[in-house]
Amino acid sequence: MNQDQPTQAPVILGIDDLRPLPRATRIARTSSEGVRLLAEHRDSFIDELWLDHDLGGDDNILPVVTVLEEAAFNARPFRIGTVFVHSANPTGAATVVRALTRWEYRVRRATA
């Protein structure tokens, strides 16, 4: 007898101050919310993580990037299928891509 196993929905997290990100299962609008969102998913697999560089005012994604870098530095990187950087800020996006690629996260630049 063959029983179908329930399929778990993908975990797609987004950190962006403005975009709706319709595929995301959870969205954080600030870097501090983003850090909390990552903490909530620390021990689970994240299928996709969508990052915007500029998060309004003086806020940006770098505190979130720091959390990801520190985890990798401590030999316990977050388990993420792909990180998509979708910022309209080309310099900021390049910084995020470079930083996370250095720590062997799978990173792709997406159109904002």
- Residuewise pLDDT in 10s, the chain (112 residues): 455 666 788 999 999 999 999 999 999 999 999 999 999 999 999 999 999 999 999 999 999 999 999 999 999 999 999 999 999 999 999 999 999 999 999 999 997 5
* Domain membership flag for residue 7: no
* Domain membership flag for residue 1: no
- Residue 17 CA to residue 14 CA, distance in Å, equals 10
Domain count, the chain: 1
* Domain membership flag for residue 6: no
* Domain membership flag for residue 23: yes
C-beta of residue 78 within 8 angstroms of C-beta of residue 68: yes
pLDDT of residue 8: 84
pLDDT of residue 2: 52
- The CATH number that applies at residue 29 is 3.40.50
- Residue 51 CA to residue 13 CA, distance in Å, equals 9
Is the entire prediction scored with pTM above 0.75? yes
H/E element, 100: helix 90-102
Give long-range contacts, CB 8 A cutoff, 24+ apart: 98-104: 99/65, 99/69, 100/65, 100/68, 100/69, 103/68, 103/69, 103/72, 103/73, 103/77, 104/72, 104/77
Positive/negative CA dihedral, 99, 66, 28, 106:
positive
* Domain membership flag for residue 28: yes
User: Which residues constitute the domain of residue 68?
Assistant: 12-109
